[in-house]
Amino acid sequence: MSAPATHRPSPADLARRTPQATTAAPPKPAPGPAPTAPRAAARPQPPKLSAAEAIAPGRLADGERFKPSYHRGLLLSGMLPEARLMGYTLLWYANHSTGRISPNFQPGIEELVEHTGLDARRVGVQLEVLRERGWLRLATIQQGPRAGLPRFELTIPALYLERVRAHRARQIPSG
């Protein structure tokens, strides 16, 4: 004959297990005053801006170039990818130091549709998003054969220009 089967424990047995007497754990030390960490040097806080001031076009300092600042600002903006794509696409047409798009190279909706892969309606929506958030200004060409036609002017909102500068200051070690 075979030996009687022994009971194999299962996870359900853990709940039925009675607590056994265990050895007493050493007492925990009484909580004392919390150790204070040395405070880091306070970062300079950017000035508080109203909503209108935040989306107003920022002014580049001497030596600052527009394209890298606009590019970094779009990355920091948290806008949806379609809006950033439209901003980057328009940035290809802009002058690297001023951000101005020449009247001779103003892209049309059809050209933006081709370059972004978005349909015409979505291109219009994303242009409006950029305009409302201060990244794009629509102006009218004043002179020349295209007088009276709209033109795009890229701008960096003051809030994001300050963030770009703060990001740049953290990246460049002083020293």
User: What average pLDDT score do residues 52-75 get?
Assistant: 82
Backbone angles phi, psi at 101, to 5 degrees: -105, 125
- What pLDDT, on a 0 to 100 scale, did the predictor assign at position 173? 67
Domains, the chain, in order of start with CATH, read 53-170 (1.10.10.10)
Quote the distance between the C-alpha of residue 59 and its chain's center: 20
- What pLDDT, on a 0 to 100 scale, did the predictor assign at position 13? 67
Give the pLDDT confidence of 71-122 residue by residue, as tens digits: 999 999 989 999 999 999 999 999 888 888 888 888 999 999 999 999 999 9
Radius of gyration of the chain (CA): 31
Q: 149, 77, 58: which is closest to 85 by C-alpha?
A: 77
Q: pTM for the full model? A: 0.65
Give the C-alpha separation, 66 to 64, whole Å: 7
- What pLDDT, on a 0 to 100 scale, did the predictor assign at position 6? 77
Which of the two residues, 65 and 10, has the higher pLDDT score? 65
**Backbone angle region of 33, left / alpha / beta, with phi > 0 → left and psi within -120 to 50 → alpha:** beta
Give the pLDDT confidence of 110-162 residue by residue, as tens digits: 999 999 999 999 999 999 999 999 999 988 888 888 888 888 899 999 888 89
pLDDT band at 33 (very low <50, low <70, confident <90, very high): low
SS3 state of residue 13: helix
- What pLDDT, on a 0 to 100 scale, did the predictor assign at position 133? 92
Give the C-alpha separation, 111 to 117, whole Å: 10
- What pLDDT, on a 0 to 100 scale, did the predictor assign at position 79? 92
- What pLDDT, on a 0 to 100 scale, did the predictor assign at position 88? 95
Rounded to 10 deg, the angle between the 66-77 and 81-93 helix axes is: 170
